[in-house]
Structure 1
Amino acid sequence: MPYLVANDLPDRPAPARFRAALARPGIYRLPGAHNGMAALQAKAAGFGGLYLSGAAMTAQMGLPDLGIITVDEVAFFIRQIARASGLPLLVDGDTGYGEALNVMHMVRTFEEAGAAAVHLEDQLLPKKCGHLNDKKLARPEDMAAKIAAAARARRDLFIIARTDAAASEGIEGAVARAKLYVEAGAEAIFPEALTSVEMFREVRARLPGVKLLANMTEFGRTPSLTATEFQELGYDMVIWPVSSLRVANKAQERLYAELVRSGSTARQIPEMQTRAELYETIGLNAYETLDRSIVASVAPEPV
């Protein structure tokens, strides 16, 4: 049932629900949802939380993931996904959209939009996808200051620190940064672009007691692992950041190619969500029932 017309609206803030889900046994599975429809479909499939990727946001806007969108543009996506699904949402906060004051503004904006959690990364602008080469890193102390600013500004938002240091500073540098970020207020660490099972295992061993997030992106540097395998490695959360967008984009590409080729969508109809399926997913009938249940106001007759 869509969030707006649901009868089981959550009675706790999103960050509290995120922490509660993370405290349960097993790895917290957070599939990427690039818009409200994807959020509804992920919820219907049985997921209890979602992830909003900066790469997915920018790609659906026709832009590269280079840190060029704004806080307010991200808040637009947060609002639609949180409102559609009601699920706790982890949001990609890139580099925080500036320095300490900008980070504080971002945290408040994301919380007000409905986010449950955010991760900040230690790259410098123009930042890149974590699985690309030639990333430039901020000084550890500067990143720690951003984490401290985020922790100070939040009301309850769950703060995750992402480090891209493994590629240039090795596990030693990534772990040293992670410890500094935890001291600054990060509640979990996201070690990005680890390239082997051994690296995942070593990070886990060297950060005892710290919550860890794994990134299972396709076409990247990380080997393909299942959620269960990450769980066995000791990781607490896993994201599939751009998967939903990749599948949707490929389907659209086939549709447009077929229209150019034949001038008809007939061959694509078996691949389409039907009208009935669409209406069921967005809860059209529930909205109509809600609309009919509202009594119209009647102005009193003049005396």
Structure 2
Amino acid sequence: MLRAQVCSNDELSFLMEAHDGLSATIAQRSGFKGLWASGLSIASSLGYRDANEASWTQLVHSVERIVDSTELPVLVDGDGGFGNFNNARLLARKLHQAGAAGVSLEDSCFPKLNSLIGERHPLADIDEFSGRLRAVKDAVADKLVLVARIEALIAGHGLNEAILRAHAYADAGADAILIHSRKSTADEMLSFVTEWRNRLPVVIVPTTYFRTPVSAYRNSRISTVVWANHSMRAAAAAMRHICDSIAAEESVASIESHIAPLSEIFELLKYDELAVAEKQYLQPS
């Protein structure tokens, strides 16, 4: 299912960020057809910075909970693969075993730093990163969708370098190209799409150029839009507001109407199924 969404230019698809089982369940309830297991959001939910502070095993464990919580295909933000070709193919194998449908690998150096932080974003050598992609392809073949994420625009190397890398990564076996930009408008990204001419489907992450109308993506025949961190950010804002209120008022009375009732949590996590199972297995007739 993920391959049909990401690897097609016929219809624009959307992936919603998830960082745990609950956020995945809510995204499915809202009607999303696929999920993005965000490295930033998973690291943040664990109390780590998005700088490879969370280990690849912690990422795989979080993905496993996301996969188990929904029936949706999951594209995993695999950073740069947590090392060289060997680390990348090991990560890919374990993500496949955890039930992921795809992995996105970025051409950054280990340890990476979140693309929207600071100015120092050294890029991996093209041939070395192409080797990482080939190793992943050889390890999992068509079992995982492989998205090659290009950080050339983030690092300030310009359009020509981004196109050069995109061609190399396509030759290395990538199924789609994720072009990333930190500009506040989509111009830089759209210039890449025009020059690239859809040799492979294009995935975008409009975190900073969020004011761009979705029609622009459809007109450019972009394959997939990733809403990459919004559930985590929404949760952080809501928790801060509620904690501040409770701390100031020393009461929960005024905030009760602003938070999800426990019945909604019980419904999301299918407590009713547990009650039925208890009757079947604990008190068999």
TM superposition score normalised by structure 2: 0.92
The answer to whether 1:18 aligns with 2:2 is: yes
Q: 2:134 maps to which residue? A: 148
The answer to whether 1:93 aligns with 2:78 is: yes
**Deviation string for 1:59-113 (max 9, x for gaps)?**
1111111112212101111111111012100101011011111111000000001
Decide which of 242, 251, 259 is 2:238's aligned counterpart: 251
Which is greater in Rg? Answer: 1
Q: 1:63 maps to which residue? A: 48
Offset at residue 265 of structure 1 (A): 1.4
Decide which of 154, 162, 168 is 1:180's aligned counterpart: 168
Q: 1:154-165 maps to which residues of 2 (within 5 A)?
A: 154-155=140-141, 156-165=143-152
Tell me how far apart the structure 1 counterparts of residues 282 and 268 of structure 2 sit (CA, whole Å). Answer: 26
Equivalenced residue count is: 278
Deviant stretches of 4+, over 6 Å? none
**Which amino acid counterpart does residue 237 of structure 1 have in structure 2?**
T
**Which amino acid counterpart does residue 150 of structure 1 have in structure 2?**
V
SS of the equivalent of 1:165 reads: coil
Q: 1:267 maps to which residue? A: 254
Q: Give unpaired runs (5+ residues) of structure 1.
A: 1-16, 298-303
Decide which of 270, 277, 280 is 1:283's aligned counterpart: 270
**Which amino acid counterpart does residue 143 of structure 1 have in structure 2?**
F
Offset at residue 267 of structure 1 (A): 1.8
Decide which of 104, 118, 143 is 1:119's aligned counterpart: 104
Tell me how far apart the structure 2 counterparts of residues 269 and 78 of structure 1 sit (CA, whole Å). Answer: 31
SS of the equivalent of 2:178 reads: strand
**Which amino acid counterpart does residue 140 of structure 2 have in structure 1?**
R
Contact 1:33-1:39 within 8 A present in 2 as well: yes
Offset at residue 226 of structure 1 (A): 4.1
The answer to whether 1:234 aligns with 2:224 is: no
SS of the equivalent of 2:51 reads: coil
Q: 1:12 maps to which residue? A: none
TM superposition score normalised by structure 1: 0.87
Offset at residue 32 of structure 1 (A): 0.4
Contact 1:121-1:164 within 8 A present in 2 as well: yes
Contact 1:71-1:109 within 8 A present in 2 as well: no
Offset at residue 115 of structure 1 (A): 0.6
**Deviation string for 1:199-251 (max 9, x for gaps)?**
2222112222311111022xx3x353344432222210111111001010111
RMSD: 1.8
> Identity over the aligned pairs, expressed in percent?
24
Decide which of 125, 128, 137 is 2:123's aligned counterpart: 137
